[in-house]
Amino acid sequence: MSGSGLRARIERFTDLTGRATSWLVLVIVVLMATNVLLRYLFSYGSVWAQELEWHLLAPLILFGMSYALLHGEHVRVDVLYANFSPRKKLYVDLLSAVLSMAISLVIIALSVKYVQQSWVVGEQSSDPGGLPYRWALKALIPLGFLFLILQSFALALGAVEKLKALRQ
């Protein structure tokens, strides 16, 4: 498989994952609105419903970061970047992708033991009425950063392809 074919497959995967994950925004908004209405109109609060908010927010962020990278919605110092030549922009993109992969590898390496400890003890909410399976939520950390590595690799492939094209 060529570099551009692999890049296209990774980008399709990232786009599909990001679009599917984006539906969590609607679920979170409805859940938060319901929690607020129940609390202020009926003086009823639920620990599990409040915990569910951040249980849904975690995958949204962890899977959304690679989607944001794919669509160029990540944080970048555009004031400087905008004035760079096309070649310099590609070098910045390549360096950013490599650094992103390196940082993601470190985070994965550090989070695996964290997830493993949570799994071994069967970690769950310490609050009465809270959600069980906190280890499952923590397991999304290395998975989300693995997705970021994949998308960063695709970005690096694209930058290398474009640099080669500029040299010809």
Q: Amino acid identity, residue 102?
A: A
d(CA 110, CA 115): 9
User: Among candidates 93, 97, 100, which has minimal Cα distance to 78?
Assistant: 93
> pLDDT in tens for each of the 168 residues of the chain?
677 899 999 999 999 999 999 999 999 999 999 999 999 999 888 888 889 998 999 999 999 999 999 998 777 767 788 888 989 999 999 999 999 999 999 999 999 999 999 999 988 888 888 888 888 999 999 999 999 999 999 999 999 999 999 887
